[in-house]
Amino acid sequence: MIIGHHLVHGYFKRALSVGALEHTYCLAGLAQLGKRTLARLVAAEFLGTTVGQLRQHADYLYVAREVDEKTGERKRDISIDQARALRSALGGSSWSGRRVVVIDEAEYLNESSANALLKLLEEPPADTIIFLLVENEALLLPTICSRVQLFSLNPVALPEVTAGLEKIHGISTPLATECAAFSGGRPGKAITLAQDPGLLAAQHAALAAWQRLSQESFADRFAKIEELLDIKTPEDGVSVPLSDWQLWWRAELLKNLQLTALAGGPSNGAAVSNRSAAELVAIIDATQETASLLRQNIHPRLALENLVINF
């Protein structure tokens, strides 16, 4: 049912078996890494049901950002009204004697909604477990962080992702291997790609475009930034799959190091993607720096031009 994270799951199973579960946990890690799947699996085990029946279980409460009816997009924050509704729901009696709460993307709790939940997080009702799911625990308010037990989930080894796609989802070995390679160790990403041939093709096309870009002149690189990264105007922002590419470059670096180790020393220039380990490290560092600049609202064109210079 779950791909990877078996050590963390094992902790919860042991704690459950001896009645030693804490009240509040935070599962932190990249999007599509398996945080939600792990939380649901532990919730089902705690409530004595199956993951498939969990959504209909009266004592399973799931909170996430609501969808704006006008725009169809998720709202900016988890609102104080949602926090108050959760508090009210937990104030009554449970149906099974146990309850599980999952707050997805908990970094989107604003100051008001977070403050409304502080006492609940510190002292939940008896036999209640609360999971906060976040991509980056540093974005949680300090008052929240101090009240949770943190588990940081790492990317899953690619062979394990491949095996999980084959055994759990019945995906053929060639397709599973291909999707795992694009996943960056995120099982959810690999599953999405395996189920959507169009998206997988788009990943191939985008990666090929980035690779071609690295072989072109600086002038051509700058000219193609808009085409590749869908920049319209500075006000519209920029859609950049930097996390995907950073993870892919890391996978290429790992392959390079493995080949070097097998060869018994530095390669003779036949590095993965025709790049040395040092060049791959430089690209990874530049990609990470660019992602940080974009989060700081640095002008997208300047940030991305700086990135492609490093290619």
CATH of the domain at 32: 3.40.50.300
Q: How many CA atoms lie within 13 A of 185 on its CB side?
A: 18
Count other C-beta atoms under 10 Å from residue 75's C-beta.
14
Tokens of 135: 């991509």
d(CA 290, CA 86): 38
Q: How confident is the model at residue 272 (pLDDT cuts 50, 70, 90)?
A: very low
Same domain, 142 and 161: no
So what's the pLDDT on residue 148?
A: 92
> By C-alpha distance, which of 204, 287, 265 is closest to 279?
287
Say if 1 falls within a structural domain.
no
Asked if the structure places residue 272 within a domain, the reply is yes
Q: What is the pLDDT of residue 217?
A: 77
Judge if 164 and 86 occupy the same domain: no
Residue 31 lies in a domain: yes
pLDDT tens track for 34-75 = 999 999 999 999 999 999 999 999 999 999 999 988 888 889
CA dist 100 → 6, 55, 89, 149, 187 (Å) = 20, 11, 12, 16, 24
Mean pLDDT, range 28-37, rounded to an integer: 93
The answer to whether residues 188 and 206 belong to one domain is: no
Amino acid present at 287: T
C-beta separation of 19 from 51 below 8 A = no
Pairing of strands 128-134, 99-103: parallel
- pLDDT, position 288: 77
Inform me whether the pLDDT recorded for 126 exceeds 50. yes
Question: What is the overall mean pLDDT for the chain?
Answer: 84
Separation of alpha carbons 59 and 100, rounded Å: 6
Express each pLDDT in 281-303 by its tens digit: 888 888 878 877 776 667 777 78
Domain final residue pick, 130, 152, 174:
152
Q: How high is the pLDDT of residue 99?
A: 96
Tens digit of each residue's pLDDT (9 = 90 or more) over 86-100: 999 998 889 999 999
Residue 308 has, within 13 A of its CA and on its CB side, a CA count of 26
Whether residue 191 sits in one domain with residue 87: no
Give the pLDDT of residue 146: 86
Same domain, 16 and 133: yes
Percent of the chain with pLDDT strictly greater than 70: 84
Q: Model's pTM, two decimal places?
A: 0.78
Confidence grade of residue 262 (pLDDT, cut at 50, 70, 90): low
Euclidean distance between CA atoms 191 and 184, whole angstroms: 12
Residues ≥6 apart with Cβ < 8 Å to 97:
127
Q: Where are the beta strands (DSSP E) in the chain?
A: 24-28, 60-63, 99-103, 128-134, 149-152
